[in-house]
Amino acid sequence: MAHSTRASRTRRWLARAGLPLALLLGSAFPAHAAADGVAAGGVAAGGVAAGGVNDFSCRPSSSHPEPVVLLHGTFATWYEDLNFLQADLAARGYCTFALTYGAYDGFPLVGGLKPVAVSNLEIKEYVEKVRGATGAAQVSVVGHSEGGLQALYLAKTQGIQPHIKAVVAIAPPTHGTNAAGLLDLGDRLLGRQTMEQIVTSVGIPVLADEVPGGPAIVALNDGPVAQPGISYTIISSRYDELVTPTETAFVREPGVRNQYVQDYCPFDPVGHIGEAYDLNVWHMVRNGLDPRRATPILVCAVGSPG
């Protein structure tokens, strides 16, 4: 039953993300894989192993020497948030890895619930596991929503800066979000302390981290967010309805690429959840992973406005 439910949700998101349009335009990931000379699960023409999804026998190629670790958002899992983006990257030859972090024992179906600092230790351990298994000196980290915040927090606070090549954060609440004013209203009606007690008592303490003044936000913004030697790309949508104001996602520091989807595709109405599935965002992620070989978006897709 759980598998059936996940499958139905997957089909629903697939439709909402505009993937049928992508298929019509010939831009679905199997076509790209062929263009790159790599078939998912196969071997490239030059004998280089293809990319993989959570395959610890995957060996990075010279074209994509850093494995990519993907981090989901709050209330999500590794298999339901960035899973389609992960498959796309794997089809293009990347060794990709994802975990469900911040879940409670006995209830692994929803992750991203624990405090950022607690989940970040899980993520650090996983990154080191990926490096050990693949033999890679560095990894790149891609995160959506809380996952983007976790990626930024990981690069700054866990002492593994030399092990991280790039951070690509999609709609992270870098400076805290007011969730379209709802959290501000809650503060006024109940008070910050009461709000924090409520979210902690129901097992979602991460929500207290993601607001302005939250512990993770304060720690992340104590001094520069961007760390030397790491490539940073922050992606957001002008129509994001959860990480608000949308400017709060960006890291306005030297060398950081801060990009709205609408800078490249002005008519894409994609919202917060849809950013994980949006083909324009995927293109921007790929550019962020390999800025030297960045390519323009020639055909814009239409993402989900929710």
Burial pattern 168-207, b for ≥16 Cβ within 10 A else e, equals bbbbbbbbbbbbeeebeebbeeeebeebbeebeeeebbbb
Give kind and range of the element (H or E) at residue 165: strand 164-170
Q: Which among 282, 296, 298, 301 is positioned nearest to 94, based on CA atoms?
A: 282
Q: What is the pTM of this model?
A: 0.81
* 3-class DSSP assignment, residue 10: helix
Give the whole-angstrom CA distance, residue 218 versus residue 220. 6
CA dist 104 → 19, 72, 255 (Å): 33, 16, 37
pLDDT per residue rounded down to tens, the chain (306 residues): 444 444 444 333 333 333 333 322 223 333 333 223 333 444 443 434 468 999 999 999 999 999 999 999 999 999 999 999 999 999 999 999 999 999 998 877 899 999 999 999 999 999 999 999 999 999 999 999 999 999 999 999 999 999 999 999 999 999 998 765 445 544 554 455 655 555 565 557 888 888 889 999 999 999 999 999 999 999 999 999 999 999 999 999 999 999 999 999 999 999 999 999 999 999 999 999 999 999 999 999 999 997
Helix axes 116-134, 146-157, angle to 10 degrees: 70
Beta bridge pairs of residue 69: 97, 141
Give kind and range of the element (H or E) at residue 166: strand 164-170
